[in-house]
Amino acid sequence: MEQLHGIIRNYDWGSKTALAQLSGRPVPSIEPEAEMWFGAHPGSPSLLGNSVDPSGTNTSLLDAIEASPRAALGANVAERYGRLPFLLKLLAADRALSIQVHPTKQQAEEGFARENAEGVPLDAFHRNYKDDNHKPELLVALTEFRAMAGFRPIKRTLELLDTLGVGPLTTATEALRNDPTSAGLRATLEGFFGLERTEVSSILDALLPRAREIASGTPGQSKWMEQTLQGVVKIAEQYPGDVGILVALLLNHLALQPGEAIYLDAGQLHAYLDGLGVEIMANSDNVLRGGLTSKNIDVAELMNLVTCEPLDDPTLRPAAGGHYITPAPEFDLQRLDAGATLAVNGPAIVLSVDDSVKVDGSSLASAEAVWVGASDEPVEVAGRAFIARVGCQS
């Protein structure tokens, strides 16, 4: 067992308070802190050791695994994946993230090879595929966490559009009215992305006053509709004139409570809006964006990847023992509550979310983590923590 130091990623949608408060550091931070990575992704591998040496002498988890993969991962995981197959994060959103989608494994391999053959540098602004892996992901809320996840059932979307009753928007969603299927959803999404900026502005000028009216609360109004339009109004304040505001009308709007989660597979359109959570995913950084961002947008590639089947209820709750059950073989995430104790075998990462956590009797402060290698002795964990393991090890 070794202490594992997370690497902070600074993005403009991050928070200057959430990660700093969780870590017990001064608030506010100098820059927005969006994510803290715990893992062995080449983009930001975590560091091992009792403390971080500013001169750079710490061994990264990536280097440690590459030096001795069987000892670190175990024979089965090393044979199947050749690397730590998951990436664990703390995620702190103060404003909406991009409307995005992730590729399948095959799409990632093809896209990564294609951009390599084209000579696109890995750090190029317009690079889509940073690695050859897919990115199924699970996010568990630590605070109330608002997100958009998957397309809303079409019947409800048509109900929302009818309630809004905005002429230019009705025209822009005619494809969905004429064909209330996933094909109609795809045509509507393509239509939104194909609008000129002046056309988007014209629709928003008509839409937003009505959206604010409904979002403020109307007697007899559906709660989900109020919640959706509150999200739309807030996004419009953060990204004025962005086509992503229109796309947000098509998506499920969720307000996760602490302990609740969402699982998102390849092709599912989504965007996190605000809150603090623990996120685990296959070890990848592949993101295709369509709006609500200053980063590269590639609508054509996003449309190649997106799945337009509605997602009825993407909310996930822990099963017995605190496990969040997903179909992803790369990871398993387990929540340990205060007062509980658990023996943990490697390979695993133990992440504390409370100052009361102890690992083998030693204190682990909030937002600190330890790495347990496959060849290490099992460790005993007590207190509020998350344990990240490989989902399928055979």
> Which residues belong to the annotated binding site?
100, 102, 137, 270
Rounded to whole angstroms, the maximal C-alpha distance in the chain is: 66
- DSSP reduced 3-state for 74: coil
Binding residues for Zn(2+): 100, 102, 137, 270
User: Of 83, 152, 289, 384, which residue is the catalytic one?
Assistant: 289
CB 146 within 8 A of CB 275: yes
Task: Tell me the C-alpha distance between 110 and 88, whole Å.
Answer: 25
Helices vs strands, H then E, count in the chain: 13, 22
CB 322 within 8 A of CB 337: yes
Residue 52, number of CB atoms within 10 A of its CB: 14
CB 167 within 8 A of CB 323: no
Q: Which positions ≥6 away from 32 have C-beta within 8 Å? A: 10, 11, 12, 13, 14, 15, 16, 94
Is 384 a residue of the active site? no
State which amino acid sits at residue 372: V
- DSSP reduced 3-state for 231: helix
Q: How many CA atoms within 13 Å lie on the side-chain side of 35?
A: 18
| Residues catalogued as catalytic | 289
